[in-house]
Amino acid sequence: MANENKSVWTSISFWRRSAGWVTGFATILLIWLTFDTLGQIRMGTDEELKEAVAQQKEINRVPAPTVINYHINYKMDEKRGHEVPVIGKKELFFGKEWNPQEAAELLHLGKLTSQAKNCMNCHTLLGNGAYYAPDLTKAWLDKAWQKGGPLQAMTGKNTVEEAMAEFLQHPSQYPTHARMMPDLGITADEAKGLVAFLKHMSSIDTNGFPRNFSKTVEQFKTGGTNAH
C-alpha cells in the first residue's frame, strides 16, 4: 500500500498500552493510598493516649475517645508552620471522668446525632460539609466558648461543655451572628454526645486545618466566612 501508516501516534496499540499502563498504575496507587490513609487515621487506644500525655508528645493523629477527660489547647508549631492541638492535664467532662467504654459510647452517640441532625448541611467537620455556618473542626478550642468568652457568657453556664450543650438544645434562643442556628430538637443526652464529639475532634491533628483556626472567631464576628 502506498499510503501505509507508520506513525506511532496514530497506532491503536500504542494508545491501548498507554491507557492500560496509566489505569493500572492509578489503580495500584489508589489501593496503596487507601491503606496508607488507614494507618494515618487509626484511632489510638487509651494506653497510647496516657503515654502521649506522660511524654508530652504526639503518637496518634486521632486520639482515643478518653481524650475528653483531658484539657485540650493548641499552639503554633513553628517547625510545621501551623497550629497543632496539645493534650494537657486531666479535667472533668460534665462533672466526671469517663472510662474508655463510656467515652466511646458518648462519642458514638455524638457522631450519630451529628449525622441525624445533618450538621454538615451548614457546618464543616474535618473538611467535609458546608461553609454557611462556622467550621466546627476546632469549635471546642474557640475562645468565645471559654471562660469569659461571649458565647459561654450568653448561656449563663460555667464550663465549655455545659455552655455548648445548652446552646445546642436551644440554639434559636441565642443571638450568635447573622446566620442564626435553627432549633433542631436536640435532646440533653444528644447534646452531651455532640459536645464530646466536638471535643474529640478538636484533639485530632489535622495538619493545621482549618488554617489559623484560632482566628476564625474574629473572622465570623466581622461577618466573614471560612470560604476563601
Partner 1 sequence: MLFEQFTDVVPSFFGWLNQGPMTLTLFLHTLIILPMIWIYYDEKKKLEGKK
Q: State the virtual CA torsion across 49, 51, 57, 62 in degrees, nearest 10.
A: -20
Q: What is the CA radius of gyration of the chain?
A: 23
| Choice from 43, 45, 48, 58 touching partner 1 (CB under 8 A) | 58
Contact 69, 93 (CB under 8 A): yes
Kindly tell me which of 187 and 207 has the beta carbon lying closer to partner 1. 207
Quote the least distance from Cβ 34 to partner 1, whole Å.
11
Residues between 184 and 213 with contacts to partner 1, criterion CB under 8 A: 205, 207
Quote the least distance from Cβ 168 to partner 1, whole Å.
30
Residues contacting residue 204 through CB under 8 Å, at least 6 positions apart: 61, 62, 63, 85, 126, 137
Quote the least distance from Cβ 141 to partner 1, whole Å.
18
Quote the least distance from Cβ 112 to partner 1, whole Å.
27
Total residues binding partner 1 (CB under 8 A)? 24
In the three-class reduction of DSSP (H, G, I as helix; E, B as strand; rest coil), residue 61 is classed as coil
Kindly tell me which of 133 and 204 has the beta carbon lying closer to partner 1. 204
Distance CA 125, CA 145 (A): 18
Quote the least distance from Cβ 60 to partner 1, whole Å.
8
Letters for 11-50 (x = contact with partner 1 by CB under 8 A, - = none) are: x-xx--xx--xx--x---x---x--x--xx----------
Residues contacting residue 202 through CB under 8 Å, at least 6 positions apart: 72, 85, 137, 138, 139, 140, 141
Residues between 61 and 100 with contacts to partner 1, criterion CB under 8 A: 61, 77, 79-80
In the three-class reduction of DSSP (H, G, I as helix; E, B as strand; rest coil), residue 56 is classed as coil
Residues contacting residue 226 through CB under 8 Å, at least 6 positions apart: 124, 131, 134, 135, 210, 216, 219
Kindly tell me which of 33 and 76 has the beta carbon lying closer to partner 1. 33
Phi/psi at 196 (5° precision): -60, -40
- Applying CB under 8 A, which residues contact partner 1? 4, 6, 8, 11, 13-14, 17-18, 21-22, 25, 29, 33, 36, 39-40, 58, 60-61, 77, 79-80, 205, 207
